[in-house]
Amino acid sequence: MNAPADPVLDIRNLTKKFGAFTALDNLTLSLRRGQILGFIGPNGAGKTTTIKILVGAMRPTSGTATIAGADCVRDARRIKRLVGFMPDSFGAYDNMRVREYLDFFGAAFGIPRGARAKRIDEVLETTGSGWMQDRYVEALSHGMKQRIGVARTLLHDPEMLILDEPANGLDPQARIEMRDLLLKLAGLGKTLIVTSHILPELSRICDVVAIITQGKLRAFGTLDQIMRDLRQKRTFEVQLCGPAQVETAAAAVREALEPGEREGVKAHATESLVRFDTARSDTELAAILAALVGRRIDVSQFREIPKDLEDAFLSVTRREAPAA
């Protein structure tokens, strides 16, 4: 994907090392105003590290990052005004009610008292959490805390919101609500960066997705683009009439495939089917089917399994994983 004309976020060759360990390796990406970026990768991939650099809590070893023209290292103060940041931990204070909690952070951003009270009402309204304003923050459930966390990031009306794992640990219903909330925020004109270690969780609402593993950017673009890149390797199922011939069929498929693809062949006796992954063309697949039929195996169906997001994600992350 080409760099957008007017990038609000511009990350260039960002690298972060902890001693000899490279947590972030030469990351380059950019984002247009008003877009939602899904920053996706397994645990330990370097998502939080990237975010901490963006909000000025960490120094990169090399490379640069700018948000709306402000450098994340040099213009720390401007970055704080531009960005609303929700870390992966909530940060509760004892004996503090939700309203007092928001009031404190509003005051910390220097919002005058009158405007602050109005602003708190607005962000509680936006996040649909007005009814919990008198609750104590430490007594909130996880889902409620996440909403208050988002409300807090909105207080100073930042241009960009950076949310670290906002849907982590939420139940399916709360996850849907969080997705709706994120869409609502994008509707307000905010640029959003949202991380997740689960691809399907958020990717559907994202304009662009960046997949990162072991500190390296593996895929970046719209969801469609990424899926197209990943679709090279397809999954097929051979449905048999009964369980008796499953092993023979699996052996025949293995014989027809390249050695590298042979372990991927799975025989499922209970379901009477054989499943395999391959990068072969359609004509080669026809030959496999012919070989099966030639051995008098009763094939009832030969079908391609449409890949879903999760498989795509796993195939990207596995492809680059070390052989350990």
- Chain residues binding other proteins by CB under 8 A are 52, 55-59, 73, 76-77, 80-81, 83, 85, 87, 89-97, 99-100, 103-110, 112-113, 116-117, 132, 134-136, 139, 152
Hey, what are 78's tokens? 């401007």
Q: CA 287, CA 265: separation in Å to the nearest integer? A: 17
Residue 261 vs residues 223, 272, 279: alpha-carbon distances, Å: 27, 21, 9
Q: Which stretch binds ligand ADP (CB under 6 A): 42-50, 185-193, 265-273, 292-300?
A: 42-50
Compute the residue count for the chain: 324
Contact between 190 and ligand ADP by CB under 6 A: the answer reads no
Contact between 44 and ligand ADP by CB under 6 A: the answer reads yes
Classify 303 as helix, strand or coil. Answer: strand
Query: Which C-beta is closer to Mg ion: that of 55 or that of 253?
Result: 55
Contact between 50 and Mg ion by CB under 5 A: the answer reads no
Hey, what are 61's tokens? 């070893």
Minimum distance, C-beta of residue 85 to other proteins, in the bound complex (Å): 4
Hey, what are 149's tokens? 């966390």
Contact between 48 and Mg ion by CB under 5 A: the answer reads yes
Half-sphere exposure of 109 (CA within 13 A, CB side): 25
Could you tell which of other proteins, Mg ion, ligand ADP, none binds residue 55, using a CB distance below 5 to 8 A set by kind? other proteins
> In this chain, which of 48, 66, 191, 317 binds ligand ADP, going by CB under 6 A?
48
- Residue 236 has phi, psi (to 5 degrees) of -125, 155
Listed residue (51, 60, 81) closest to 18, CA to CA: 60
Q: Which stretch binds ligand ADP (CB under 6 A): 36-44, 95-103, 175-183, 232-240?
A: 36-44
Helix intervals (H) in 37-167: 47-54, 76-82, 98-108, 113-126, 142-154
Could you tell which of ligand ADP, Mg ion, other proteins, none binds residue 277, using a CB distance below 5 to 8 A set by kind? none
> In this chain, which of 7, 41, 143, 166 binds ligand ADP, going by CB under 6 A?
41
Question: Which residues of this chain interact with ligand ADP, rule CB under 6 A?
Answer: 18, 21, 23, 41, 43-49
